[in-house]
Structure 1
Amino acid sequence: MDDTDNFIQAGVTILKTLAAAYSHPENYKVLSWNDELYHRVTKPEPLPFDGQNMDETVAEAIQTIFSGYCNVSHPQYYGYISPRPLPVSVLGDLLAMGLNQTPGAWRAGPAATAIETETLHWLSEFIGYHTPSGNLPNGIVTNGGTMANASALKLARDTLLGREVQSKGVRSANKPTIYMSREGHFSVWKSLDFLGLGRESLRLIEIDEQGCIDLNALEDTIQRDLRQGYQPICLIGVAGTSATGAVDALDTLADVAAHHNMWFHVDGAAGGAYANLAETRQFFTGIERADSVTLDPCKWFFVSFGIGCLLVKNGEELRKSFYATGHYWEETDELDIFQMSFSGTRQWRTLGLWLAFRHLGEQGYKRILSHNLKVTHDLAATVIATDVLELLHKPVLPVCCFRVGQIKSPDTVTMAIQRFLVASNHYVTLLDWRGHHYLRAAISNFATESSHVYELVQTILTYLDTNYDT
């Protein structure tokens, strides 16, 4: 069936919908849903027997989406690190999906493979993680940070325990251990389970007052494990915790890893975009020494969900860890990236990011990042200037956590404020920090201005004046 005419008409409807969502995000609530959507989760509608025309189908999809919509384009959306995507990147995603190219194998997408390889090098250059050029890319693209971390841990396992573990399994290993702060991402212990190393192989190290790994506690734990016959194989530095944006002392961790002959992995999924920005570069010193680095472009690179990256020093080592083929696959000297990762044929997700780099350039990207950081610092300064709010930490990245201070039952009040804010079109989340509740605001929208965060604080103060004796 040739639906070309209908395709164009329906496509224009979708583009106009996106344009309206980007241009006038204030026309939609920051978070909305209805009871019908809950009902459809527990009792999905039956599979349609007869079809309908494309216009009706697209209209139904749009209506359904906006009945349960998390409006990340709204400048008062401060939840997690979910960005408003750059429009040019969305067009790249559409083009890549529409032409159904895959960078998994050269013969399945020569241009896709070349653009993806180039994008990986640009990412490395942007964050200051310079890697030697070679015949293979300096990393892989995954569907998110979880798979990127899992791939890094597999590479660490194979390298430190010996390549025979790939065929014989981990039961031949000598009690391997992995080290990470308590603020590290849950994807790590999921990955250790997935890789057969077991969740108990992970040592969660206590943190200091700023949310960074406690170096004394780390060394004590390593020494205890060595005395008990364990084999430390991997040390993970967190370059931007999900909770508060804290960055571990990466240069010191690189020294620790080298001293104990461990793989040094940096999880920069959240904060890696800021590694080479003038205002924040000093917090990331040592990232260039990592054996591997995880990045999530679907955070502060402002592209849509579903893309993560693993950068490494040597692409050939990735190929050793993931090489596989089939009798139906003709081996040539072409670049087949599927032999460097878990994925086989996969969606081409780097065209949107490549277009964003081309469109903005390095300086354009850095201006956006600097803007978000400035807005965050303005929020922190506004919080400090009040008599009733208190800051958790001075922000390193665009994450600001604060709470009600001198008031009876501050945790209960902070929780009530968070519910009120979301209902009032200010999407902030709650953070449980050492048994106390804080409001957490992440500035992940390049359209958020200082005026918006001033309004956020004023809304809180008005609520407190109306409902509490402050």
Structure 2
Amino acid sequence: MTPEEFRHYGHEVVDWIADYWANLEALPVSPDLRPGEIAARLPERAPETGEDFAAVLADLDRVITPGLTHWQHPAFFGYFPANTSGPSVLGDLVSAGMGVQGMLWSTSPAATEVETVVLDWLADLLDLPARFHSTGTGGGVIQDSASSAALVATLAALHRVSGGAWRRSGVRERYTVYTSTQAHSSIEKAARLAGIGDENVRLVEVDQDFAMRPDALRAALDADRVSGATPALVVATIGTTSTTAIDPLPAIGKICQEYGVWLHVDAAYAGAAAVCPELRWSHAGVEYADSYCFDPHKWLLTGFDCDAFWLADRAELVQTLTVLPEFLRNAATESGEVIDYRDWQVPLGRRFRALKLWFVLRWYGAEGLRAHIRRCVATAQRFAEWVRADERFEVVAPHPFSLVCFRLRGSDGPNEKLLRAVNATGRAFLTHTKVDGRYVLRLAVGAPSTEERHAAATWKLIQATVDTE
């Protein structure tokens, strides 16, 4: 493809995306398909000769779009949001076109230095502790997801607690990890990958608001110490996946300091809320954290993948992960004056993910990002009011952000049936969880195009579905 051909077809692709966004509301949120239907529309073998690009674009409409769940649809209320936006897409396009490798400062200085500065900007916007800034001992880096952030935090915690011995001889001691019963499954997966094992992950009991109980954490730490285990890591959550519960960081942080245990804070979804000063109460105690992460790709208008991960002491992570073969040696690295982000992650290679975040921050500014968060929170609070006004339903958990957990009063069966029926209409998409053993519906507001009218229409659909059953 010549530059001129790229220019021509690139315009057509941008037009296609713009039309897709413009017409999203008219599409069913999720497809009505059986497994294998999309694959059946594709040839059995790759083409022997190149095809006309117009045929590729035509198949976006014929094959791809009918097989999508439309995460940017204004009535997509499932899981957590997976925002993207025009600036983010354009930033990704430029990054893809450059095709640079940012594994070392020397392989593309701009890729490293823009990322460092943008993560400092973002730390300022969230009012994170000064020790997370690159101007001190800490700093930020973009991981692909909060799951990868959990893994590297686990490895760094192991490195610290073992005095680096784990790098030389593997995980021979019995180390333990602590998180709440409501925490994300990535914590358990990280323990597996780090060699700690499932059996050494302690799921700490929660209170009536589904937040970790500090007294239960202390008891678990004491029990493991008595048994000969070495506590390595505590993971606290700001905005758990099921209900957006907020663990009490001030109390947890003090315990971690007392026991000498690494504290990682997972704010994958709810961290974005801290751009709004009135929501920063949720981050009280984050100054105790050794590491912290949140996903701009969830609720901050930046396309997947983009997890912002900060450390209070970057040297600990570099010591944990660095491996320097001869072919990567260079004068800049040897000088000690640069950051090489390959030492901050599991893979060697890394693309220029900071570019899309840079585009987003510059286009929207702090005011635009706050407006987006506030609109989503206000819409969710309004939805919760409608649920409470209908005596057939109940709200089952606090809803400080833009997720509402609710259910029909009574047994699980009608709730399961209700969710299937609503999603089958294609007019909205919700998900479920289990809270206190009960089947619960989740409505998460976050798509960039969602307005209160979309939540209102979904609530009327839910009520009408109940009325007809």
Fold shared, TM-score > 0.5 on shorter chain: yes
Alignment of 1:24-423 (within 5 A): 24-35=23-34, 37-38=36-37, 40=39, 45-129=44-128, 130-131=130-131, 132-134=133-135, 138-171=139-172, 173=173, 175-334=174-333, 335=338, 336-405=340-409, 410-423=411-424
- Distance in 1, Cα, partners of 2:344 & 2:468: 59
**Structure 1's 437 and 214: CA in aligned 2 closer, same or farther, altered over 3 A?**
same
Indicate the SS of the match to 2:278.
coil
Q: Which amino acid aligns with 2:468?
A: T
Shift of 1:215: 2.2
**Share of identical aligned residues, percent?**
26
Q: Which amino acid aligns with 1:418?
A: L
- Distance in 2, Cα, partners of 1:95 & 1:257: 43
Structure 1 position 459 matched with structure 2 position 461:
yes
Shift of 1:78: 0.3
Q: Which amino acid aligns with 2:13?
A: I
Shift of 1:266: 0.3
Q: Mean Cα displacement is larger for which, 456-465 or 193-202?
A: 456-465
For the 8 Å contact 1:152–1:310, the answer to whether it is kept is no
| Structure 2 residue corresponding to 1:438, chosen from 437, 440, 456 | 440
Shift of 1:263: 0.6
CA deviations on 1:290-333 (whole Å, 9 max, x unpaired) are: 00012212101121122223210122222111112222223222
Shift of 1:39: 6.4
Shift of 1:380: 0.7
CA deviations on 1:418-459 (whole Å, 9 max, x unpaired) are: 112112211011212222111101111132222222222221
CA deviations on 1:141-182 (whole Å, 9 max, x unpaired) are: 2221111110111111101111122122111x2x21111001
List runs of 5+ in structure 1 lacking aligned partners: none
Q: Which amino acid aligns with 2:187?
A: V
**Structure 1's 162 and 43: CA in aligned 2 closer, same or farther, altered over 3 A?**
farther
For the 8 Å contact 2:270–2:401, the answer to whether it is kept is yes
CA deviations on 1:113-141 (whole Å, 9 max, x unpaired) are: 12111121122222222324348871322
- Distance in 2, Cα, partners of 1:230 & 1:42: 55
**Structure 1's 30 and 204: CA in aligned 2 closer, same or farther, altered over 3 A?**
same
CA deviations on 1:44-95 (whole Å, 9 max, x unpaired) are: 8223322212232233245322021111221110011133312111100010
- Distance in 2, Cα, partners of 1:384 & 1:359: 38
For these two proteins, the number of residue pairs brought into alignment is: 461
- Distance in 1, Cα, partners of 2:40 & 2:394: 40
CA deviations on 1:193-251 (whole Å, 9 max, x unpaired) are: 11111121110012122111122222221221122121112111111111111110011
Indicate the SS of the match to 2:242.
coil
Shift of 1:35: 4.0
For the 8 Å contact 2:106–2:332, the answer to whether it is kept is no
CA RMSD of superposed structures (Å): 2.1
Indicate the SS of the match to 1:236.
strand
Q: Mean Cα displacement is larger for which, 426-435 or 249-258?
A: 426-435
Indicate the SS of the match to 1:140.
strand
Shift of 1:272: 1.2
Indicate the SS of the match to 1:444.
coil
Q: Mean Cα displacement is larger for which, 366-375 or 450-459?
A: 450-459
- Distance in 1, Cα, partners of 2:187 & 2:377: 27
For the 8 Å contact 1:181–1:206, the answer to whether it is kept is yes
Q: TM-score, normalised by structure 1?
A: 0.93
For the 8 Å contact 1:92–1:355, the answer to whether it is kept is yes
Q: Which amino acid aligns with 2:431?
A: T
Shift of 1:373: 0.7
- Distance in 1, Cα, partners of 2:156 & 2:142: 15
For the 8 Å contact 1:325–1:339, the answer to whether it is kept is no
Q: Which amino acid aligns with 1:358?
A: R
Q: Mean Cα displacement is larger for which, 43-52 or 280-289?
A: 43-52
For the 8 Å contact 1:10–1:58, the answer to whether it is kept is no
- Distance in 2, Cα, partners of 1:10 & 1:43: 22
List runs of 5+ in structure 2 lacking aligned partners: none
- Distance in 2, Cα, partners of 1:201 & 1:124: 33
- Distance in 1, Cα, partners of 2:438 & 2:100: 49
